[in-house]
Amino acid sequence: MKQGVQDTARTGAPPRSTAVRVPPQARPEDDAVRERGDLTGAVRGEHTHSEPPLPRPVVQRSSVRGQILAALRTALLAGELCPGEVYSAPALGERFGVSATPVREAMQQLAQEGAVEVVPNRGFRVVQRDARELAELAEVRALLEVPVLMRLARTVPAEDWAELRPAAEATVRAAATGCRATYAEADRAFHRALLSLSGNEQLVRIAGDLHRRTQAGTPAPRGRTELMADAAHHAALLDALIADDLDSVHLLIAEIFRSRP
């Protein structure tokens, strides 16, 4: 874990540098002034547009929350936020240069995804999963995905599988960067594309949630070699699906779920 994050989490003091700089948030008083101005103009009989003004502050806050959520996910996967450690929203807000509110909202989303847990009056603890829990998550994923993929392998035409080639190639490019966070996103996108051919949106959502939980719970970052091996499995699986080679499909799916998340 980086020293700046440790100092901030334990002392609350701002670090020497910030990893992410988010645009400043709109002040509530600015909204009030703008609203009073619009109302005054209408009362004086001045021309006003029929359409309501764009809710800029709301959109901006959502954008800030999304940026913070993405940054936190990257920090979790990169090991910058350590399993078992407690981080406060104000301290992380100092790191990202924003108030505690969007950080707290992003952390609540991560808590729903199982990446962190709420510690009352302190903040959020990064979940630390042991090998047994990770194996259980992988087993649940396999119980959901393997039967569906095997059914799809027997029914989906080759041209539909071929359309997923860009998603498989994206995992190879992501693995080549050696960035675990970049690869995690590409990996989820590939599996989402496979399962989407089932037409079952609930399956895609639940499987994606399990996949993300497994990725966030991996105790140690993987290197470029391991990521490249995983990506190679994806490309080989797609080749087997296009060739209608069901035996190879079964073996490759089993290998993917035996691999570390």
Give the pLDDT confidence of 173-227 residue by residue, as tens digits: 999 998 888 899 999 999 999 999 999 999 999 999 999 888 876 655 567 888 9
Kindly state the tokens that stand for 4. 């700046």
What pTM was estimated for this model as a whole? Answer: 0.69
Residue listed under structure tokens 């103009």? 41
> Mind listing the domains of the chain with CATH numbers?
3-126 (1.10.10.10), 131-258 (1.20.120.530)
The answer to whether the CB of 209 falls within 8 A of the CB of 218 is: no
The answer to whether the CB of 249 falls within 8 A of the CB of 153 is: yes
The reported pLDDT for the residue numbered 223 is: 79
Report the 10 Å Cβ neighbour count for 110.
Answer: 21
Query: 158-174 burial, b for 16+ CB within 10 Å, e for fewer?
Result: eeebeebeebbbbbbeb
Which DSSP string corresponds to 10-69?
Answer: HH-PPPSS-S--PPPPPPHHHHHHHHHHHHHHHHTT----SSPPP-HHHHHHHHHHHHHH
Q: What is the pLDDT of residues 230-252, one digit of tens each?
A: 899 999 999 999 999 999 999 99
